[in-house]
Structure 1
Amino acid sequence: MSTPSGPVWGRTEQQDFRSRVRGTLLGAAVGDALGAPVDALGLEEILRVHGPDGVVDFAPAYGRRGAVTHLTQLSLFTVDGLIRAQVRRDTGAWHPPTDLHRAYLRWAATQRDWGPDLRRKDDGWLAHEEWLYARRDPTRPLLMGLGDDRLGTLDAPKNPAADGPEATARSAPFGLLVGWEPQLVAQLAVECAAQTHGHPAACLSAGAYAVTVHALARGESLDTAVQQALAVLAARPGHEPVSEALQRALGALRQGLPGPERVTALMGPGTAPGVLSAAVYCALVADDVRHGLRLAVNQDGPSAPTAALLGGLLGALHGETALPPAWLAELEGRPTLLELADDFAMEMTQGPALHNPAGASPGWLTRYPRGAS
């Protein structure tokens, strides 16, 4: 991949960017946690269990309220991999898909090990967070795709028939590379999606979502962000299912008041394009974050990834202060999410002060080692 150049950051710009990074990661995690208890349920059963209004607040999942799934776990490791890629760039090694693959392999270790191996210094700090060592219903393509060390690529993808939304749901952090051109953001998201979900619809959905987040993080409106994603998609072979799904989301705005039936219709069979379409629609019609997330959860399709995608969009659009404080207070892993978000924002805005080819802060290299692990 070519090497992007970054913007010039003033203090106000740094503060705005940090708020959007926090908003994106926390918003996606809040959506994931809201949808987790009902992810496998249809609307009829959701209403039977949670009452006529459906899910309106966190409910218990995995033994607690506010618990996140593998979607948030993988998003955290996406951020970790992106920071590690920047740090390793000082060595002359510049291939972010490889660094992201190594990060995803560190996540895979959390799914099979009892806890962190503190002797492995090259793992960095995130892989030493004990709460991440919990299986939260990871899907078969994830476990198979990361079950060995082979890197899936666009020419030789892992699980070429896998078209689910999991790769899309871990791709919001790619959109936070605001110093990159949209085409490069899309390319990285697509290449990293192929490591577990090799179907073109899944890969291109990840790219489209990343570009949408990218435009929002740069201060664009939601409609403009979707149009930018469509423009980037148009240049890629096989884009039609994803482009058509986004167009359906835009067209649904003219079809009356939002409701579960409209979200379910956009969702279709729950593949990546449908989940992306439903999430974009919910973002477009949301009165606020709480309203949008409830709309994304209470429908017949997969609730956790839909709400996670939506939370990432609204967090990037509005920043962290738009997120419901009561939900943030109960969110599993919030300290880790905040710490990682702030590290990412600092790396992207002040990276040369932390590390460069001539030297580096020892503390930063302890957190994000340059090693090959």
Structure 2
Amino acid sequence: MPSIACTEPVPAPGDAVGPRDRARGALLGLAVGDALGAPAENMKPSEIRARWGRITGFVSDNPCGTDDTEYAIFSGLLLARHGSALTPAHAEGAWHQWIADRAEGPFRGAGFSERGTLENLRRGLAAPISAQHRHAWSDGLAMRAAPFGVFAAGRPAEAARLVAIDGSVSHDGEGIHGGRAVAAGVAAAMAGAPTTAVVAAALAVVPDDSWTARSLRRAVTAAPLGERAVRSAVVIGGYPWTDLAPEAVALAFGAYAAADGAFVQAVLTAVNMGRDADTTAAVAGALAGATQGESAIPAHWAAAIGPARGSCLPSMRGHHVLDVAELLVPGEDRKWVTAGPSAAPAPPAEGAPR
């Protein structure tokens, strides 16, 4: 890959992919990557090979998204409600309304950063103090950052600004940097920027000496040598947890760069590297989906993605990522969500076209 300069994204010449196709590609790509990677989460490549050989498609009989998809829907609906006027108070209020204050039993199916955030919110702590927990560096913001890039297409700095506001409730430090990098990268891809410019946009919104920036540079430098080299360049050997934002974000961008933005290759590269495979594949899928559009996602993969099941966030049950994409399509008259998740468009009947 050529050297990366921190420049504004430049659309590819003769770009024929429209903003709606890119928006749908980004969020559907996130959900597809999440579902493909979920069975391989926390696994080593050797364990993946021993069980499945090389993963080339769904290995579950009933594939579905995890907390990555449901939190992306959550953030997409939050953004659709407030747009560029989003504030930390708005984000904190949504966490209370849609998650923390719901009497639905113990919180299920998400990572340490979300659990720590909820504990703090339920103790009465407000943002940014609510993000002061042991896992503020996790990839929990990066996994839900793609909607901000869709909304702020072609404006990476604005995408990064908005996702940091969302993240102020739950993340700090490298956790915020990871979310900013993903949001900015998706925003650049939404404008038709080539792969190198997408990576440059991500690097431009994080501190040059941050762990996130260093890992991201190592990953994309190793990308021409393939997934094993990318993994070796950034994985923290011996560390038991796989949700480190600098590691996961770098693996995702490394997979995207190794594939030069091609959707299938980017997502499968991320999946087969293991570690936090649902998140890395979700981010790689969002980047590649924004780059190539919805049409680049294999139809049989896309067909497997239905409305969210609410297995992590019951309040997100019934919402489809494509409905959220339609709310955020740039350059169109957006129908802002004014009441909460229930105000978003109802999912179509089963089998109906989206």
**If the length of structure 2 is used for normalisation, what is the TM-score?**
0.77
Question: How far does residue 150 in structure 1 lie from its aligned partner after superposition?
Answer: 3.8
Matched, 1:182 2:156: yes
CA displacement, residues 297-345 of structure 1 (integer Å, 9 cap, x when unaligned): 1124211111011001001111111111111111232772222211222
Kindly report which structure 2 residues correspond to 1:1-373, keeping only aligned pairs within 5 A, or say none. 16-50=18-52, 52-53=53-54, 55-60=55-60, 64-86=61-83, 94-108=85-99, 113=104, 135=108, 137-147=109-119, 148=121, 150-153=125-128, 157-159=131-133, 161-178=135-152, 181-198=155-172, 200-234=173-207, 239-254=209-224, 256=225, 258-268=226-236, 269=239, 270=242, 271-286=244-259, 288-333=262-307, 336-345=320-329, 349-351=332-334, 367=343
**Is 2:149–2:183's contact at 8 Å kept on the other side of the alignment?**
yes
Say how many residue pairs are matched.
312
CA displacement, residues 261-306 of structure 1 (integer Å, 9 cap, x when unaligned): 5324323354111111111111112173222212111124211111
Question: How far does residue 165 in structure 1 lie from its aligned partner after superposition?
Answer: 1.1
Q: In terms of mean alpha carbon deviation, does 309-318 or 64-73 score higher?
A: 64-73
Which residue of structure 1 lines up, in the alignment, with residue 316 of structure 2?
Answer: none
Q: Which amino acid aligns with 1:253?
A: A
Q: Which amino acid aligns with 1:162?
A: A
The alpha-carbon distance between structure 1 residues 184 and 178, as it changes in their structure 2 partners (threshold 3 A), is closer
CA displacement, residues 109-168 of structure 1 (integer Å, 9 cap, x when unaligned): 598627xxxxxxxxxxxxxxxxxx994x21122022034264422x77332643221211
The alpha-carbon distance between structure 1 residues 286 and 95, as it changes in their structure 2 partners (threshold 3 A), is closer
User: Hey, what's the Cα distance between the residues in 2 that align with 1:101 and 1:167?
Assistant: 14
Which structure shows the bigger proportion of residues in helix conformation?
Answer: 1
Instruction: Specify every segment of 5 or more residues in structure 2 that has no aligned partner in the other structure, as ranges.
Output: 1-14, 309-318, 346-354
Give the root-mean-square deviation of aligned CA atoms.
3.3
The alpha-carbon distance between structure 1 residues 81 and 246, as it changes in their structure 2 partners (threshold 3 A), is same
The alpha-carbon distance between structure 1 residues 67 and 109, as it changes in their structure 2 partners (threshold 3 A), is farther
Identity rate of aligned residues, in percent? Answer: 25
Instruction: Name the larger-Rg structure.
Output: 1
Q: Runs in 1 of length 4+ with deviation above 4 angstroms?
A: 109-112, 361-366
The alpha-carbon distance between structure 1 residues 330 and 109, as it changes in their structure 2 partners (threshold 3 A), is farther
User: Hey, what's the Cα distance between the residues in 1 that align with 2:154 and 2:266?
Assistant: 29
The alpha-carbon distance between structure 1 residues 71 and 111, as it changes in their structure 2 partners (threshold 3 A), is farther
User: Hey, what's the Cα distance between the residues in 2 that align with 1:159 and 1:180?
Assistant: 33
**If the length of structure 1 is used for normalisation, what is the TM-score?**
0.74
Question: How far does residue 41 in structure 1 lie from its aligned partner after superposition?
Answer: 1.9
